Amino acid sequence: MISCRICETYIAPFMSFGKMPIANGFLTPDTYDSEYFFELAVGYCSNCQMVQLIEQPDRTKMFHDQYAYYSSISKRMREHFQKMVADIFARYPVSDNPFIVEIGSNDGILLQNIAQKNMHHLGVEPSKNVAQVAQDKGIQTINEFFDRHVAQNIASKHGQADIIFAANVMCHIPDIHSVVSGIKYLLKPKGIFVFEDPYLPDIIDKISYDQIYDEHVFYFSLTSLSHIFNLYDLEIIHVIPQDVHGGSMRYVVAQKNAYRLSEALVHQKQIEDQKKLNHASTFEQLRQNINGSKLQLMALLNDLQKQTKRVIGYGATSKSTTVINYCGINSHHIEFISDTTPIKQGKFTPGGHIPVRPYQAFSNNYPDYALLFAWNHKAEIMANEDAFSNSGGKWIVYVPSIQIF
């Protein structure tokens, strides 16, 4: 039992995935002995409905100087953020000389679209090496964890913000009260806070349990988010469902009563109400579905192993860590995982210790099967890899169900 990070109600886990390493903790054999594990379990709050991790590792173990995720590597993500900025500016025109802030600005993938317009901007990024990449590109960035104190410093130096962005960041921050309080302080009376995160109903519908890992402390719904924003006199005014990351939601938040609520928001609220996110049975069903997905995937991988088929993994994603360790996938099931991220290549996956090799290890010697850990980019990847399919290679996908293409 822990107390809810939002409202302090006691919550119990509805599901444990067992001992789990840090999702981004790619390592070399000399550090296997000191590899860090914690219990990955999730629960939901019967009062505010926030689904959250029971235990979370120390943030310094997750976001450190070796943090391996650089957003700009993915072309699809670069295009996504370019379009996100264009859409927001079209719907919410800003005043002359606006000030734009981004929380968790990574390597500047989103803010570069603002910097190109010569707009006053500031990124707040806790990972030093990632922040440095943004600074080198000429994107104004401070190396901090965003909280109320940092928000006050920004406001006193730069003034209040017209738009605050946060993409795949809010769900990472355990002390969300300090962040929301900081947003409240930093936002102009007609300012907007735009953020995107995985959406709980998508995880339930798609059984995409690989969204559950150490960095994602919260699994948001409209209901649970409305509860915390309400505590700070903020409200969600608009939502736009997104298909990046396999199902996420873009939320637009403003000072209470500053804007009319959109029809899309009202519609999404109706959809969500039918999902029964306040019922224990919903989460018991999810637990059973996740277990069923694991049994099916392992039956397939064990069968392919018996047939001595060559299977490799495609994309050493953070998400894959939950699947590999929860299902018990090892280097007997998959020979290696190919990944284009140089910092991961030559290392081994957290917990499962499966080798990570460059993309050419896949493309120079096609396997019989490729287990698609980057399933959220399925369409883009399959289109680019028709030579693999033409060679007789098959894809294994496990979300929303175990399928072979």
| Residue 6 binds to Zn ion (criterion: CB under 5 A) | yes
Q: How far apart are CA 224 and CA 272, in angstroms?
A: 11
Which residues are CB-contacts of 58 (< 8 A; sequence separation ≥ 6)?
none
The minimum distance between CB 139 and Zn ion, in angstroms, equals 36
| Residue 152 binds to Zn ion (criterion: CB under 5 A) | no
From the list 18, 26, 17, the residue with the least C-alpha distance to 337 is 26
Query: Of the ranges 41-49, 190-198, 235-243, 306-314, which one interacts with Zn ion (CB under 5 A)?
Result: 41-49
Closest to Zn ion by CB, 10 vs 32, is 10
Tokens of 288: 């059973």
Residue environment code for 98-110, b if the CB has 16+ CB neighbours within 10 A, otherwise e: bbbbbbbbbbbbb
Closest to Zn ion by CB, 84 vs 180, is 180
| Residue 48 binds to Zn ion (criterion: CB under 5 A) | yes
Residue that is written with structure tokens 């029971």 in the block: 54
The minimum distance between CB 47 and Zn ion, in angstroms, equals 5
Closest to Zn ion by CB, 171 vs 207, is 171
Backbone angles phi, psi at 84, to 5 degrees: -60, -45
Whole-number Cα distances in Å, 299 to 251, 329, 333, 372 = 39, 11, 11, 17
Considering only residues 16, 37, 47, 359, which one is a binding residue for Zn ion as defined by CB under 5 A? 47
The minimum distance between CB 54 and Zn ion, in angstroms, equals 13
Count residues near Zn ion (CB under 5 A). Answer: 7
Residues numbered 194-213 forming contacts with Zn ion, rule: CB under 5 A? none
| Residue 164 binds to Zn ion (criterion: CB under 5 A) | no
Q: How far apart are CA 169 and CA 52, in angstroms?
A: 14
Closest to Zn ion by CB, 4 vs 134, is 4
| Residue 7 binds to Zn ion (criterion: CB under 5 A) | yes
Maximal C-alpha separation, the chain: 66
**Beta strands per DSSP E along 228-380:** 234-242, 248-255, 311-314, 337-338, 356-357, 369-372
Q: Which amino acid would we find at residue 399?
A: V
| Residue 296 binds to Zn ion (criterion: CB under 5 A) | no
The minimum distance between CB 205 and Zn ion, in angstroms, equals 23
Query: Of the ranges 45-53, 68-76, 231-239, 356-364, which one interacts with Zn ion (CB under 5 A)?
Result: 45-53
Considering only residues 45, 150, 183, 207, which one is a binding residue for Zn ion as defined by CB under 5 A? 45
| Residue 277 binds to Zn ion (criterion: CB under 5 A) | no
Query: Of the ranges 7-15, 33-41, 115-123, 304-312, which one interacts with Zn ion (CB under 5 A)?
Result: 7-15
From the list 244, 198, 257, 261, the residue with the least C-alpha distance to 224 is 198
Closest to Zn ion by CB, 7 vs 94, is 7
C-alpha angle 290-293-299 in degrees, rounded to nearest 5: 145
| Residue 42 binds to Zn ion (criterion: CB under 5 A) | no
The minimum distance between CB 45 and Zn ion, in angstroms, equals 3
Query: Of the ranges 5-13, 67-75, 109-117, 278-286, which one interacts with Zn ion (CB under 5 A)?
Result: 5-13
The strand pairing partners of 327, in sequence order, are none
The minimum distance between CB 200 and Zn ion, in angstroms, equals 14
The minimum distance between CB 166 and Zn ion, in angstroms, equals 21
Residue that is written with structure tokens 């988010």 in the block: 225
Is residue 213 within 8 A of residue 164, CB to CB? The reply is: no
Query: Of the ranges 37-45, 123-131, 231-239, 371-379, which one interacts with Zn ion (CB under 5 A)?
Result: 37-45
Query: Of the ranges 8-16, 161-169, 245-253, 285-293, which one interacts with Zn ion (CB under 5 A)?
Result: 8-16
Closest to Zn ion by CB, 4 vs 204, is 4
| Residue 4 binds to Zn ion (criterion: CB under 5 A) | yes
Is residue 212 within 8 A of residue 256, CB to CB? The reply is: no
Strand pairing class (51-53; 37-44): antiparallel
The residues that touch Zn ion, with contacts defined as CB under 5 A, are: 4, 6-7, 9, 45, 47-48
